[in-house]
């Protein structure tokens, strides 16, 4: 069986890819299981060298990977280059982890007690379509560093860069079976990661609904999971903020990648005294977002991923929705949607409470610090967010009070490969990236050696 891969900027067929069935998925998992014993026994320094060679192979292929993502996912060429570079950087960072998975020597009576970080075995990584390259690397790089083997399933809509990364891993010298790409349906390949007893951990990024199903399925085998799920992040703008800068940057915090980002600041909360002024500043910033051919160097936002997703996003805009203003987008083929700013009539409107995952942002007023915190936390999600203020005390108070895993003050940065990333509440479980990333793919083993 095969599936067609569509270019979202043109709606043209880009490639045809094999869709693995259950037998092919089981065969890949078995290869990973057989390879696991040898891979875990590779000396930490040698494992590190192989990961560095993988990173160098990605770097040498960076422009090709980026152009491939432009065609497959509709990402702008600037974003796609950053994403390929992030894979390289995560691999280089992870290459430093094998030699730093340190155990402990614990003082005890009658002997010596030591701990070890043991790899889990086979790890199944399920990657979404919104950021196919970096999210894949956030899972496979630290897992490999910790001595696990990895079977990775890319999203059905965006498999091409994952397949290329699999080729680059082989070219870099990773042994057979250590890192495999299996394309196919989530209901077949992804579900088999959940049910196969040889897969000891599942890493999933995607919708909260599917994440809950994976978590429930893994519970049957007490299987480890890392889940990075939905978001409804708030961008909080206080009256004492640099309003010009806050308004100028706000569109890129939500319209980047056409809003198809779980970290998108899709709720802008503005203190009432400066609400009207902020909207005045926001309008030209939104209308200035360049939407068009993602291969064009000047483009800042590309298309949505598919016709079905465009229809879903459009469903958030009802006849009763007050649209403050919009940007522009191309006509013709492709799954285009203009940047859109709405003024909700109620805090219970779907556009306020649900993840749109498209270029639609709701702007709401708040009264004071307590009100801003209340509104920001009034969601089942807790992934990311931003805060704009010139008061450092307020910045510390509010960031500690907002229930989210990744917050920025006077900026919109959420992800760095050297710092932990993950969500509160229904935005996920566990953390990726940062100095402890590899430990999430190990078990702690305690050994007591009697000396008396």
Tokens of 138: 């956030």
C-alpha distances out from residue 135 to 12, 155, 245, 415, 440, Å: 25, 11, 29, 11, 16
* DSSP state letters, 290-324: -BS-TTSTT--B---S-HHHHHHHHTT--TT--EE
* DSSP state letters, 70-89: HHHH---HHHHHHHHHHHHH
Cβ(153)–Cβ(190) below 8 Å: yes
Q: Which residues contact 162 (CB under 8 A, 6 or more apart)?
A: 127, 132, 133, 136, 152, 154, 181, 183
Cβ(418)–Cβ(433) below 8 Å: yes
Tokens of 70: 């432009």
Tokens of 279: 């909207």
State the catalytic residues: 228, 262
Cβ(409)–Cβ(389) below 8 Å: yes
CA angle centred on 382, ends 381 and 387, rounded to 5° = 130
Q: 18: which strand partners?
A: 2
* DSSP state letters, 164-183: HHHHHHHHHTPPTTSEEE--
Cβ(448)–Cβ(111) below 8 Å: yes
Tokens of 344: 């909700």
Helices (H) and strands (E) counted in the chain, each on its own, are 14, 20
Q: Which residues contact 133 (CB under 8 A, 6 or more apart)?
A: 65, 69, 83, 84, 86, 87, 161, 162, 165
Residue 430's nearest CA partner among 202, 137, 268, 185 is: 202
Please state, in angstroms and rounded to a whole number, the distance separating the CA atoms of residues 256 and 113. 51
* DSSP state letters, 240-294: TS-HHHHHHHHHHHHSGGGG--TT---EEEEEGGGHHHHHHHHHHHHHT--BS-T
Residue 62's nearest CA partner among 145, 137, 139, 153 is: 137
């Amino acid at each position: 069986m095969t599936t067609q891969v569509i270019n979202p900027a043109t709606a043209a067929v880009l490639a045809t890819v094999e869709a693995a069935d259950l037998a092919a998925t089981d065969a890949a998992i078995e290869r990973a299981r057989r390879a696991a014993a040898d891979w875990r026994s590779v000396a930490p320094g040698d494992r590190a060298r192989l990961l560095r060679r993988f990173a160098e192979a990605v770097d040498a292929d960076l422009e090709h990977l980026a152009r491939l993502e432009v065609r497959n996912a509709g990402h702008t060429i600037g974003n796609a280059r950053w994403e390929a570079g992030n894979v390289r950087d995560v691999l280089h960072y992870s290459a430093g982890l094998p030699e730093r998975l340190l155990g402990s020597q614990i003082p005890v009576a009658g002997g010596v007690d030591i701990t070890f970080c043991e790899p889990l075995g086979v790890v199944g990584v399920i990657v979404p379509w919104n950021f196919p390259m970096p999210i894949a690397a956030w899972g496979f790089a630290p897992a490999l560093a910790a001595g696990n083997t990895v079977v990775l399933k890319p999203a059905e809509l965006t498999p091409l860069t994952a397949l290329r990364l699999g080729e680059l891993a082989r070219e870099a010298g990773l042994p057979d079976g250590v890192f495999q790409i299996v394309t196919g349906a989530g209901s077949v390949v992804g579900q088999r990661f959940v049910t196969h007893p040889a897969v000891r951990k599942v890493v999933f990024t995607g919708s909260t609904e599917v994440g809950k199903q994976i978590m429930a399925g893994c519970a049957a085998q007490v299987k480890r999971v890392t889940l990075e799920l939905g978001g409804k992040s708030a961008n909080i703008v206080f009256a004492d903020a640099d309003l010009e800068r806050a308004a100028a940057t706000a569109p890129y915090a939500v319209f980047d990648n056409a809003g198809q980002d779980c970290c998108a600041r899709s709720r802008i909360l503005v203190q009432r005294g400066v609400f009207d002024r902020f909207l005045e500043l926001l309008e030209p910033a939104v209308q200035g977002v360049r939407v068009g051919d993602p291969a064009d160097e000047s483009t800042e936002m590309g298309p949505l991923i598919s016709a079905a997703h465009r229809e879903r996003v459009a469903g958030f805009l009802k006849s009763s929705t007050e649209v403050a203003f919009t940007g522009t987008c191309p006509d013709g083929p492709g799954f285009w949607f203009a940047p859109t700013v709405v003024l909700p009539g109620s805090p219970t409107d779907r556009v306020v409470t649900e993840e749109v995952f498209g270029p639609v942002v709701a702007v709401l007023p708040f009264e004071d610090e307590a009100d801003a915190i209340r509104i920001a936390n009034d969601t089942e999600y807790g992934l990311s967010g931003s805060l704009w203020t010139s008061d450092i005390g307020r910045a510390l108070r509010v960031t500690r009070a907002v229930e989210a895993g990744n917050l920025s003050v006077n900026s919109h940065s959420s992800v760095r490969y050297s710092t932990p990333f993950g969500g509160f509440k229904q935005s996920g479980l566990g953390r990726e990236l940062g100095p402890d990333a590899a430990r999430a793919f190990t078990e702690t083993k305690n050994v007591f050696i009697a000396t008396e």
